[in-house]
Structure 1
Amino acid sequence: MAPMAPSFSDLAEAEYILLTSFRKSGEGVATAVWAAPDGERLLVWTPTDSYKVKRIRRNPRVEVSVCDLRGRPKSEPVEAAAEVLDDAGTEEARAAIAKKYGIKGWIGVKASILRRGRKGTIGLAITVPQ
């Protein structure tokens, strides 16, 4: 049986989601990320200088699916839109990740701040049409 398209709840509860952003050529580039629900959107936290941030700034169209740690899809992808967050939004994303992922999320966020500084990571908000 083929995997089904995930609901927002499926994505919000998944340990990892596969976030696919698109190059200028239209080619998709997928990355497994942590994501935490925030109302009607998913918050993701990633290095500020990552190519996915540059691609999303240029084109907010993304696809998301449930995946495993290695980025192997466990569901069909769904179309979504991503937005790069400001400093306050990034703090919300860090807090949401730490809350959802417990001690490993808290350690991951704190270690990243120590390694990269507060400006070294940035939050993304992903809106999945209902």
Structure 2
Amino acid sequence: MIPEVVARSPYVSLVTYRGNGTPVATPVWAVAEGAELLVWTRDDSWKVKRLRNDARVTVTPCDVRGRIAEGARTVEGTGRLLEGADGLGRVRKAMARKYGLRFRLMDSVGALVRGGKRPHVGISVTL
């Protein structure tokens, strides 16, 4: 079950781990869907590369710059890549529901800039 404070937060700090165990935090948009927290990101991002090697993650509500409020709850989980059209389509729909026009514009303008390509992947976080 996704904690309500995480589900409602516009941004979460997603921590993934380097090969040597060093944590790396990245503020991301995330959508709670059932027992999963869904994240949308570039398929060549470092967080994707780190998840391929280590599925451990932590998630904490944060602001757009990744600043975490004092006393914010951090939740441990497991990240899994949702590759392929079905997984990414599900993440895109969930993002569009939560973030509306902001997400649609970012996704559409980004595709225009990249000549119609959408090099993204979804991440499913189970907490």
> Same-fold call, TM > 0.5?
yes
Distance 1:107 1:39 in 2: 26
SS in 1 for 2:78: strand
The Cα offsets for residues 54-104 of structure 1, whole Å up to 9 and x where unpaired, read as 100111100000000100013132111110002211111111111100111
Cα deviation, residue 15, structure 1: 0.3
1:27-46 to structure 2, matched below 5 A, reads: 27-46=22-41
- Computed over aligned residues only, the root mean square deviation of the Cα atoms, in angstroms, reads 1.2
Matched to 1:46, the amino acid is T
Partner of 1:3: none
Query: Which stretches in structure 1 are left out of the alignment for 5+ residues?
Result: 1-6
Distance 1:127 1:17 in 2: 14
- Is residue 58 from structure 1 mapped to residue 53 from structure 2 by the alignment? yes
Do the aligned residues in 2 keep the contact of 1:20 with 1:30 (CA within 8 Å)? Answer: yes
Cα deviation, residue 108, structure 1: 1.5
Distance 1:53 1:95 in 2: 20
Distance 2:40 2:112 in 1: 15
Query: Which stretches in structure 2 are left out of the alignment for 5+ residues?
Result: none
> TM-score with structure 1 length normalisation?
0.87
Do the aligned residues in 2 keep the contact of 1:99 with 1:106 (CA within 8 Å)? Answer: no
Partner of 2:111: 113
Do the aligned residues in 2 keep the contact of 1:84 with 1:124 (CA within 8 Å)? Answer: yes
SS in 2 for 1:32: strand
> TM-score with structure 2 length normalisation?
0.89
Distance 2:113 2:93 in 1: 18
